[in-house]
């Protein structure tokens, strides 16, 4: 049974039904945990909902400093893996990882360790992050160059989250293909471009890869974690990444803990890995990142 949306969210969904479909929830079947998270996310942002147009986001983009390119950071000239280092205090699968850690201090550790880009969790309920983490990290990079591009890692369901990401200094957003219907994906991807943001499309199977490519995705990440049972299997990247078109930037996400894991997905064609838990727990992130690139 679906959770009941707050009145404001129901009214907004009905008013903008031409964009987000007649139902307030995606018509795409999802795992139980992802369904729970997405349902909560829609309720969480209900009080912040407002009309956000392509023109609004283009004006916002023009009014703010240009963030560093996320896509460019994932394309290393030496052919070695780019590393997207994630700031993640906890997760539904791992539980507490490093509760209470300072996002800005961890960002500086990652920068010193040679990370190519950052992923900053901004979901509070399930991952212990916040938009304030993203704001603080990007503000810090404006003072300490060179800046690392930051992905706003959250469950994107509405254009207002894109405006928030751009205002907070992000370089990219996450689009989870399984969590959205095609009209929602089209709107979020179009408006992200208007805001000057890259989009990382996250997929789990061949059907989702086809949907991402249909929308013109330039960066696609394979999540090696099955969100229904939280089992991680690197063979998912090994199966899917070779099917990517050559021009697509391939990212392998989840389950990368050492150089052997990184070598497996690199051999499959990954240009980058997104690593959270292992780097958050590593006493010396620089050593682990160097191991990923051997």
Residues assigned a catalytic role: 86, 88, 153, 202, 223, 253-254
* Burial of 102 (C-beta count, 10 Å sphere; 0-12/13-18/19+): middle
- DSSP-derived letter for residue 51 is -
Q: Estimate the share of the chain in helix, then strand, then coil, as percent rounded to the nearest 5.
A: 45, 15, 40
* Strand partners for 252: 222, 273
In three-state secondary structure terms, 201 is strand
Q: In a 3-state reduction of DSSP, which class is residue 133?
A: helix
The b-or-e profile of 239-270 (16+ CB within 10 A means b, else e) is ebbeebeeebbbbbbbbbbebebbebbbebbb
Distance CA 192, CA 216 (A): 13
Whether the link from the prior residue into 119 is cis, omega within 30° of 0, is no
Greatest Cα pair distance, the chain, in angstroms, is 54
């Amino acid at each position: 049974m679906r959770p009941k949306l707050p009145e404001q969210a129901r009214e907004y969904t009905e008013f903008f039904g031409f964009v987000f479909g007649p139902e307030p929830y995606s018509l795409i079947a999802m795992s139980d945990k992802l369904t729970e998270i997405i349902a909560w996310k829609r309720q969480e942002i209900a009080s912040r909902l407002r009309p956000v147009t392509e023109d609004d986001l283009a004006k916002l983009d023009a009014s703010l400093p240009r963030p560093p390119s996320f896509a460019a950071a994932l394309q290393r000239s030496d052919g070695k893996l780019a590393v997207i280092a994630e700031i993640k205090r906890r997760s539904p699968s791992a539980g507490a990882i490093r509760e209470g850690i300072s996002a800005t201090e961890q960002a500086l550790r990652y920068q010193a360790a040679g990370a190519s880009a950052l992923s900053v969790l901004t979901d509070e309920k399930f991952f212990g992050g916040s938009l304030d983490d993203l704001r603080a990290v990007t503000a810090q990079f404006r003072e300490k160059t060179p800046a690392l591009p930051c992905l706003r890692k959250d469950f994107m369901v509405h254009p207002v989250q894109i405006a928030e990401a751009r205002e907070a200094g992000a370089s990219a957003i996450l689009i989870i293909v399984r969590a959205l219907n095609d009209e929602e994906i089209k709107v979020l991807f179009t408006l992200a471009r208007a805001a000057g943001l890259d989009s990382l499309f996250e997929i789990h199977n061949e059907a989702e890869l086809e949907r991402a490519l249909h929308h013109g995705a330039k960066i696609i990440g394979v999540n090696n974690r099955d969100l229904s049972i939280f089992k991680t299997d690197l063979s998912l990247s090994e199966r899917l990444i070779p099917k990517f078109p050559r021009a697509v930037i391939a990212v392998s996400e989840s389950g990368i803990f050492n150089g052997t894991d990184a070598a497996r997905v690199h051999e499959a064609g990954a240009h980058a890995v997104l690593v959270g838990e292992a780097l958050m727990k590593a006493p010396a992130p620089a050593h682990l990142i160097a191991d990923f690139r051997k």
